[in-house]
Structure 1
């Protein structure tokens, strides 16, 4: 019960404040979108830049950590793709969107605050290692699969350009790429710039959580409830179970196992709806999954915190 009260509920209370503010029309959709644009295009890229630029790359990138997490993510994508097509008879394009919801976890807006409250700020290093590859990896798989399906009859040579354009128009990926560039080149950051970035970083997570609550108001649980529950289970059950099993089999050290499983247990992020909306497919299911899985994750995260060492 302590983990629920002290770790999980404060995070979801901030989300609830944002939900209440939008629901009671204290903020309108434009203002909520402005908050989310600030966090996703500016504050969170600054957070990721700071984290990646200061990582000890040689010591941090443990293949066991990455395989444990990303094997579970790929399993979620494949299960969503096949389930959407075989179990629910949806078009291939819709099925890719199902798979993307099983692939893309909310590592930043939910994963970082949950991890920090549970294990302290010093436990976040492995989270940032996973996050550094997350957006490029997930968008690479999702966009490639969608473009292959949509480009029936088009020359294959146009595919790489479409994938790269979709990936590098994402501010999170740009923040990560710049962080790697500074890290690898050992570029000396001016103190005044570092302090300015620190101010942006302090605002990133609380504003993002509040804005996420406002965004969730517009995502009504509509569509095929069986499909919504199925896709939600990919993120909340399948992904963390596979990650925990592989991490245990690989004898991941305690902190790495915690980070991998907590990241894997997060609900699908808002980017899953953005992806579906970008292609105009499975929008109702994707939006409903974001809302329902985020709510259900209060209980599933509580369970994983009890299981983890």
Structure 2
């Protein structure tokens, strides 16, 4: 247990430093936005493209479809659970139900998920990590669009709405890096071309090496914006769905049902038990009644995710 806690401590300390530096104006909120943008637009895309273009992922894909199935079917299941909890337990309106469902199913895969997997499970697990994170934004947007249209009795709009959701996510630098990396590797294999030139590989490695401190520091800085205290019961339910139900469903799908390897299974599980993504706040900002719920759920689930990771590492 001591070894596990010590392995997690650097992550917690860097997140805490980001929080304190921003809270006491040592680092401005605008600077935090810049650091976060660097992670999303430069560092993570560099990591994704480099690993794909060098053939270190596609040559060993194996159960790629199975890990995507386990993670995103798990996300869909907990999204539906979130809707049910909002409707039957808290008697919420449809808008609040959707916000609870988004919080329960959307992980903070980038700012915490990527460094957590690479630092705690090892860089050898970059393959399944890149796959899930690269497709996370697009597939979750499409799933949410489909569910909202079905609940609203507008099933006929699903094809066009899902297509628009996919197109909007196709502009995401993370997805673009995934698509370009796959294309580069496939074309290189077909043409017998060499992998990335050494100089390009070195540049991408240096750019992506900043991912660890920047993402964790930015996470801490962004937490300053969210206030704890609104709708504690609902936020607790969201956190329980996110940190318990989501990873448990993913594990059942990945290991007992689909027979994925331990290493691939635990990557999917760790990403599933990451805290509520910040997009819950963006959605809740449209509803006056849900802003406090989103803020509290983000803060609470982020703090509790450290405990959840300790539990996962203890039983894996």
| TM-score using structure 2 length | 0.86
1:168 — aligned with what?
A: 170
Maintained 8 Å contact 1:140/1:167: no
Q: Which runs of 5+ in 2 are unaligned?
A: none
Maintained 8 Å contact 2:138/2:165: no
Residues 40 and 145 from structure 1, CA distance in 2 versus in 1: closer, same or farther, beyond 3 angstroms?
same
SS of residue paired to 2:210: helix
Equivalent positions of 1:1-309 (< 5 A) are 1-53=1-53, 54-57=55-58, 59-62=60-63, 63-146=65-148, 158-186=160-188, 189-250=196-257, 251-277=259-285, 282-308=290-316
- Listed one character per residue, the Cα deviations across residues 21-76 of structure 1 (whole Å, up to 9, x for unaligned) are 01111112111111111212222222222233334436325144333322221111
1: CA distance between counterparts of 2:185 and 2:108? 25
Moved more, 33-42 or 65-74: 65-74
- CA shift for structure 1 position 259: 1.5
Residues 213 and 153 from structure 1, CA distance in 2 versus in 1: closer, same or farther, beyond 3 angstroms?
same
Maintained 8 Å contact 2:250/2:268: yes
1: CA distance between counterparts of 2:267 and 2:157? 41
- Listed one character per residue, the Cα deviations across residues 264-288 of structure 1 (whole Å, up to 9, x for unaligned) are 22112223334544x5573332232
Moved more, 189-198 or 151-160: 151-160
Residues 259 and 157 from structure 1, CA distance in 2 versus in 1: closer, same or farther, beyond 3 angstroms?
closer
Residues 89 and 120 from structure 1, CA distance in 2 versus in 1: closer, same or farther, beyond 3 angstroms?
same
2: CA distance between counterparts of 1:160 and 1:111? 26
| TM-score using structure 1 length | 0.87
- Listed one character per residue, the Cα deviations across residues 114-165 of structure 1 (whole Å, up to 9, x for unaligned) are 2333332223322223223222211221244446778979966752453134
Number of residue pairs aligned between Structure 1 and Structure 2: 307
Residues 31 and 8 from structure 1, CA distance in 2 versus in 1: closer, same or farther, beyond 3 angstroms?
same
Residues 158 and 34 from structure 1, CA distance in 2 versus in 1: closer, same or farther, beyond 3 angstroms?
same
1: CA distance between counterparts of 2:44 and 2:276? 17
1: CA distance between counterparts of 2:20 and 2:93? 36
Maintained 8 Å contact 1:17/1:210: yes
Maintained 8 Å contact 1:3/1:118: no
Maintained 8 Å contact 2:138/2:166: no
Residues 72 and 211 from structure 1, CA distance in 2 versus in 1: closer, same or farther, beyond 3 angstroms?
same
Moved more, 224-233 or 130-139: 130-139
- CA shift for structure 1 position 91: 2.7
2: CA distance between counterparts of 1:305 and 1:155? 43
Residues 58 and 51 from structure 1, CA distance in 2 versus in 1: closer, same or farther, beyond 3 angstroms?
closer
What's the Cα RMSD here?
2.7
Q: Return structure 1 stretches of 4+ with deviation > 6 angstroms.
A: 147-157
Residues 26 and 154 from structure 1, CA distance in 2 versus in 1: closer, same or farther, beyond 3 angstroms?
farther
2: CA distance between counterparts of 1:58 and 1:266? 28
